[in-house]
Amino acid sequence: QVLAKVAAVEARSEHPIARAIVEAAEQAAIELPLMTDFESVTGMGVRANVDGVRVEVGADRFMRELGLNVGGFAGTAERLGGEGKSPLYAAIEGRLAAIVAVADPIKPSTPAAIAALHRLGLKVAMITGDNAHTAQAIARQLGIDEVVAEVLPEGKVEAVRRLKATHGQIAFVGDGINDAPALAAADVGLAIGTGTDVAVESADVVLMSGNLQGVPNAIALSKATLGNIRQNLFWAFGYNTALIPLAAGVLYPAYGLLLSPIFAAGAMALSSVFVLGNALRLRRFQPPLAADTGH
């Protein structure tokens, strides 16, 4: 009842886990008790008075901040984390009362998206506020290269900067309010279009669907575009370097060769046609994950 009541407030922010708890409570016909003085502690948990009883629910770090020892649940928490579930703790009137596991299911499209990123020669890191055991279990399932776990919202920017210093240019993908600073700090910020408005405003690229397959597709398209630009610049410089001196009469004193103005104009037009035709090859671009319908 306590978790369901807390989730009923959190659901207003469209949190998927909160919505799931509320729906489960409704299906079980649980009558929610009266709750007052609700407070959300960012990156930690929530607290409220439920029927006059003080209740705190949150991560292990929240319990430690309250002066509570979660060691009694260590074995259970490690088992749940190994299953890819996030352990949360509930305290009633300052005493540890329960451990609860929640899980955000992996989307079916995510493994293919991460595999496509690896094929593009990229490393994948996960920055999360989740328990380290849970994060490592998810990383093993998905083949993620590096995990930065138990990060508070304000720590995501520092994590991005640290990864930039270690690996070079960073693209950050996020959809929440807490992701906005990290999206702005990364070299390229990619926001999920189904996420919060703050995240969308902070990003450089917005993927209109919630399908992560759009990430490798966007990166592959950007690489193809930059490659096409380099080709056009190379041929344009080479073309002009060869023909402009000829049109100016550099070979006339030695060989008596001159380029007719008519041919010079035609050659210039042909240069533009060549560059344009090369650019149009991008219309035949095939994304790494063609099944994706997002942009």
**Mean pLDDT of the residues in the chain:** 81
- Percentage of the chain beyond pLDDT 70 is 89
Beta-bridged to residue 191, according to DSSP, are 174, 206
The pLDDT tens digits for 124-158 are 999 988 888 888 888 888 899 999 988 887 788 89
Residue 229 has what pLDDT? 93
Q: What is the pTM of this model?
A: 0.69
The pLDDT tens digits for 191-246 are 887 767 787 888 888 887 777 888 898 889 999 999 999 998 888 888 778 777 77
The pLDDT tens digits for 37-52 are 888 887 788 888 888 8
